């Protein structure tokens, strides 16, 4: 990561510590929307000072609970801003009784570690990719099958409807409460050694995947060799040539500066992995029904906000990557069909147990699937 990025993240941390979530949201949102972020930073600092004194005057309350919230993205990333909005809403609606401290940049650990800690009550809240939950909540695999959704609208019809509500219940059996769905766009392949234009090009490449069985199966089905590595170590793994490539959405590719070490980006949209805001069961049990309702309501509102930010962030991330000499490659329709066909064994494997769910999801599409 370059020093600018560390500097920006540190600034946002200082603002957060001094002035709270609202100030960070203002500064980082301006960065996403206008790009002139240093200038905006100065203005926002003044405004947030005013907000700070207003909040102090208004809430003076000593919080009854101070909860931790884990987030592995950078301080100005849409999911982090969503988390901050969540914290801000909860604090407002509980009149300062519940304070949630959002810790971004993975400082509380990798997503897998965070989930484990939450099961023991060591961390209260988090936003995680469901890929990281799928090894121990197998139902989650259904929602992240490769080429499952036709597009983003199809995925949101599924998640906003009865299926999405049902899947938010599954983590409960594993000591976690599902609160809301966050967007993470579509994931694409990227590589440092060659542009990937065909299925042939995938053969033998070592590609980093998330720490999840299905992600390895998917990459191996494409003829590559899957290597599971935690998110914060991917840049180093690419730089040291421990792997030849990875796969992620434009926003993560740009935010983690992977474009510096893997400049061929192939838009194949092989997978959409929804993300979930979760609460530890241990924490949930401390709360009254009234507070639980507030938390769910604020989580859902923050999710709408995150989805709004996502589209713009993704677009700017792509533009910035292209400015940095990234070569963008599109798969031909014919090749895309070959990629899809290569995933067939994965469908067969999961169809036995989850055929009904898969059919239900297909039925929410508009193109008609077999
Ligand atoms: C996305 C997601 C992260 C996840 C990462 C990964 O960027 O938002 O939560 O950790 O993918 O590839 O590991």
Burial of 93 (0-12, 13-18, 19+ CB in 10 A): middle
pLDDT of 12 > 80? The answer is no
281 shares a domain with 203: no
Nearest CA to ligand 1 atom 7: 252
Nearest by Cα to 143 from 123, 101, 171, 121:
171
Question: Which tens digit of pLDDT belongs to each residue from 38-70?
Answer: 554 555 555 555 545 555 545 567 999 999 999
Question: What mean pLDDT do residues 326-349 have?
Answer: 97
258 shares a domain with 236: yes
Question: Residue 357 belongs to what domain range?
Answer: 186-272+321-363
Cα 129 to ligand 1 centre (Å): 6
Nearest ligand 1 atom, CA 230: 13
User: Looking at residue 61, what is its pLDDT?
Assistant: 75
- Full-prediction pTM beyond 0.85? yes
Cα 325 to ligand 1 centre (Å): 23
Nearest ligand 1 atom, CA 252: 7
Cα 85 to ligand 1 centre (Å): 20
Q: Which of helix, strand or coil describes residue 174?
A: helix
235 shares a domain with 294: no
Residue 368 in domain: no
172 shares a domain with 39: yes
Question: Which tens digit of pLDDT belongs to each residue from 357-367?
Answer: 999 999 999 98
Cα 256 to ligand 1 centre (Å): 10
Question: Which tens digit of pLDDT belongs to each residue from 73-96?
Answer: 999 999 999 999 999 999 999 999
159 shares a domain with 11: yes
User: Looking at residue 2, what is its pLDDT?
Assistant: 47
Nearest ligand 1 atom, CA 256: 7
215 shares a domain with 121: no
Higher pLDDT, residue 314 or 33: 314
Nearest ligand 1 atom, CA 210: 13
136 shares a domain with 23: yes
Residue 314 in domain: yes
Nearest ligand 1 atom, CA 127: 9
Higher pLDDT, residue 205 or 30: 205
65 shares a domain with 13: yes
User: Looking at residue 259, what is its pLDDT?
Assistant: 98
Higher pLDDT, residue 24 or 184: 184
Question: Which tens digit of pLDDT belongs to each residue from 227-271?
Answer: 999 999 999 999 999 999 999 999 999 999 999 999 999 999 999
157 shares a domain with 129: yes
pLDDT of 323 > 70? The answer is yes
Enter the tokens of residue 248: 């992620």
Question: Which tens digit of pLDDT belongs to each residue from 99-140?
Answer: 999 999 999 999 999 999 999 999 999 999 999 999 999 999
pLDDT > 70: percent of the chain: 83
For the chain, the domain total comes to 2
94 shares a domain with 202: no
Residue 211 in domain: yes
Nearest CA to ligand 1 atom 10: 231
Mean pLDDT of the chain: 90
Cα 231 to ligand 1 centre (Å): 6
Cα 296 to ligand 1 centre (Å): 23
Q: Which residues line ligand 1 (CB under 6 A)?
A: 72-73, 111, 129, 184, 210, 231, 248, 252, 275
Handedness of CA 71, 178, 31, 192 (dihedral sign): positive
Residue 369 in domain: no
249 shares a domain with 105: no
Phi-psi region of 89 (alpha: psi -120 to 50; beta: other; left: phi over 0): alpha
Residue 243 in domain: yes
Residue 370 in domain: no
DSSP-assigned states of every residue in 13-49:
HHHHHHH-HHHHHHHHHHHHHHS-HHHHHHHHHHHHH
Tell me the best of 73, 114, 229 to mutate to test the pocket of ligand 1, counting ligand atoms within 8 Å of each CB and taking the most.
Answer: 73
- Rounded Cα gap, residues 251 and 313, in angstroms: 7
Residue 239 in domain: yes
98 shares a domain with 246: no
Higher pLDDT, residue 362 or 17: 362
pLDDT > 90: percent of the chain: 82
Higher pLDDT, residue 218 or 49: 218
Question: What mean pLDDT do residues 188-215 have?
Answer: 98
19: domain CATH number?
Answer: 3.40.190.170
User: Looking at residue 14, what is its pLDDT?
Assistant: 59
């Amino acid at each position: 990561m370059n020093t600018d990025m560390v500097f920006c993240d540190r600034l946002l941390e200082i603002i957060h510590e001094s002035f709270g979530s609202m100030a960070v949201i203002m500064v980082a949102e301006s960065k996403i929307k206008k790009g002139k972020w240093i200038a905006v930073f100065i203005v926002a600092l003044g405004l947030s000072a005013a907000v700070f004194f207003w909040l102090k005057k208004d809430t003076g309350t000593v919080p009854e609970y101070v909860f931790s919230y884990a987030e592995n993205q950078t301080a100005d990333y849409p999911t982090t801003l969503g988390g901050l909005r969540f914290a801000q809403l909860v604090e407002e609606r509980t009149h300062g009784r519940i304070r949630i401290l959002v810790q971004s940049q993975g400082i509380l650990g990798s997503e897998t570690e965070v989930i484990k800690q939450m099961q023991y009550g060591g961390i209260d809240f988090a936003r995680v990719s469901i890929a990281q939950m799928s090894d121990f909540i197998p139902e989650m695999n259904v929602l992240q099958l490769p080429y499952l959704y036709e597009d983003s609208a199809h995925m949101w019809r599924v998640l906003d409807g009865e299926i999405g509500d049902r899947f938010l219940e599954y983590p409960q059996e594993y000591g976690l409460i599902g609160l809301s769905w966050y967007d993470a766009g579509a994931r694409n392949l990227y590589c440092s050694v060659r542009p990937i234009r065909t299925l042939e090009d995938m053969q033998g490449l070592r590609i980093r995947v998330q720490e999840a069985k299905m992600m390895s199966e998917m990459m191996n089905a494409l003829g590559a060799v899957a290597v599971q590595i935690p998110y914060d170590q991917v840049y180093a793994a690419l730089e040291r040539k421990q792997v030849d490539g990875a796969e992620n959405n434009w926003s993560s590719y740009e935010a983690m500066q992977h474009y510096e070490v893997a400049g061929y980006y192939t838009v194949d949209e092989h997978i959409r992995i929804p993300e979930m805001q979760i609460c530890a069961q241990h924490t949930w049990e401390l709360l009254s029904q009234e507070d639980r309702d507030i938390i769910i309501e604020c989580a859902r509102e923050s999710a709408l906000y995150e989805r709004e930010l996502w589209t713009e962030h993704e677009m700017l991330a792509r533009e910035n990557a292209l400015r940095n000499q990234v070569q963008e490659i599109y798969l031909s329709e014919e090749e895309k069909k070959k990629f899809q066909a290569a995933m067939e064994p994965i469908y067969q494997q999961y169809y036995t147990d989850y055929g009904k769910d898969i059919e239900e999801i297909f039925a929410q599409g508009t193109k008609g699937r077999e």
